[in-house]
Amino acid sequence: MKSTVFIALPGDEPLAEALAESLGGIVAMLEYRRFPDGESYLRIHDSLDDASVVIVARLARPDPKIPALLFAAELVRDLGASRVGLVVPYLPYMRQDTRFHPGEALTSASFARWISNVFDWLVTVDPHLHRYHGLDEIYSIPSTVVAAAPALADWISTNVRRPVVIGPDAESAQWVEAVAGQAGLAWRVMRKQRFGDHDVRIAAPDLDGLKEHTPVLVDDIVSSGGTLAGAVKVLVETGLATPHCVVVHGLFGEASRKTLAAAGVQQVVCTDSVAVLEGVIELAGLLAPAVEEILDD
């Protein structure tokens, strides 16, 4: 592999170091601070001449991070990088994948254009593909999607006795099926209707023959917490034990933990795609081979 330099956005250094170690690359430090007026200052002290550079950025709550990311990508190219990739375990702005109301911004497509303009490739984990069938519908650079399912399945098999994997809505079927398939578990999917950011109604699945199992709700994202809270309430009303909740991306929007606690959820286990305490399922081991493959290409 050509000399590969990993550079993290502030706070994401452990993931950059883990990838560099596993792939035999080196880490360069991004000096980042804000000027007194809030504008960004960036500097890289290392030489990047002809290097293949990988920028590692966890982009939950993305708005304050986006300028730094775009500046960093242009900076490394200015400093001589021959190729600039992005490892973005949580890819934001995927849920505004249509204009739900006239006049709305199609932010998924705009964000994809910004990223495609400054990066040569990207690797992400379980992006929210609902109305889009693949990232290439909006991203014009090569992208690799890593599935967190093996890591989620491992966690469930190790920590839950006799699990049945349940998705809270039709969109979750893709993740639920993959997780259950990895671990050879039964799975079901519920039906959800959304009436607003915080208002969802969910119907129970057919759980005949599974009432003695431990329910494990699996979803790609927890944001307001409304989906998981609603699903937990319905499952408990049907006589099941309080479900475990396992989610890929723990966004935990404002008041979400309160919403979840009110529904009896004591813990939502997530991957470390987002910097939250609940992010105990590590993704570096799944990301490394995907990054290696794209670097070798």
Of the two residues 163 and 226, which places its CB atom closer to ligand R5P in the complex?
226
Nearest approach, Cβ of residue 226 and ligand R5P (Å): 4
Residues at the contact surface with ligand R5P, assessed by CB under 6 A? 168-169, 171-172, 200, 219-227
Residue 273 to residue 88: CA distance in whole angstroms: 8
Name the H helices within 79-172. 107-118, 149-159
Cα–Cα distance for residue pair 56/129, rounded to 1 Å: 21
Beta strand ranges found along 11-82 (DSSP E): 26-27, 30-34, 40-44, 52-56
Which lies closer to ligand R5P via its Cβ, residue 28 or residue 166? 166
Q: How far is the CB of 254 from ligand R5P (least distance, A)?
A: 11
Quick one: which H or E segment has residue 188?
strand 186-189
Nearer to ligand R5P, 120 or 219 (CB): 219
Q: How far is the CB of 242 from ligand R5P (least distance, A)?
A: 17
- Measured from the CB of residue 274, what is the shortest distance to ligand R5P in angstroms? 13
What's the distance, CA 132 to chain centroid?
16
- Distance in angstroms (rounded) separating the CA atoms of residues 54 and 6: 5
Q: How far apart are CA 221 and CA 131, in angstroms?
A: 16
Report d(CA 203, CA 209) in Å as an integer: 18
Which lies closer to ligand R5P via its Cβ, residue 169 or residue 278?
Answer: 169
Residue number with CB closer to ligand R5P (120 or 171): 171
CB of 102 to ligand R5P, least distance (A): 22
